[in-house]
Amino acid sequence: MSLNRSPLVRAVNVHKHFGHLEVLKGINLDVDAGQVVCLLGPSGGGKSTFLRCLNHLEKIDRGSIWIDDKPVGYRLEHNKFHEIREREVAVQRAQIGMVFQRFNLFSNRTALENVIEGPIQVLKLPAKEAHERGVQLLERVGMMNWADRYPAQLSGGQQQRVAIARSLAMNPKLILFDEPTSALDPELVGEVLGVMRGLAADGMTMIVVTHEVGFAREVADKAIFMFDGVIVEEGAPSDVFSNPTHERTKQFLSKVL
């Protein structure tokens, strides 16, 4: 990163509680534009919660999150953070794609209709332009032949590829992936990871919660191991996977590798 350029994503001392349970205990993370960052670790370590904080689906209790030099969910005035209205949050969120574990497609809309819904309703694109963009994106993820199918007529891998196209349709600065392959049958995982590899090659900034160590080793610029609400290890995947320093990372990798 150049000296005069800020990271695209910056998390500073992020804390999050659910009642008396402290789920995030001071997360600090920088992600440069074009980087792929993979978050790994056992379930319950705070990975998915942190991802949801990045686009303000969860409000943080302390610290700050910045995307493109703007605080997420807040505005900064006189060195104080003030919560912004939901309408303003929605504008911010439109620039942050999110691909969920369970696809979250509209069941009563076709694959193409799912992809063009956001550009028409949120970005106010003309229907013809949105349709053209939707066709291009379905082709990009290998789903154009299923454009008129409803989610129930698609496999899990196909639904997830449509969900990725739907995120791309909003022309986001960043895409968050929350365990995008964990709900898929093993033989379908490869087709989704293949699309994600293509996005990485095209320079899309991605933060991925995953247990797919092979994907992280191959594609990620930075691998992060989270445990019990803190980042215990981070670095190049070759270092984290081949020479982990933290005992908890070693235990986790011994089970998944």
Q: What is the mean pLDDT of the chain?
A: 93
28-40 confidence digits (pLDDT tens):
999 999 999 999 9
pTM: 0.93
pLDDT, tens only, 79-96: 888 888 888 888 888 899
The residues pairing with 74 across neighbouring beta strands, listed in sequence order, are 83
Beta bridge partners of 244: none
- Residues with Cβ < 8 Å from 223, sequence gap 6 or more? 37, 38, 40, 216, 217, 234, 235, 236, 237, 240, 241
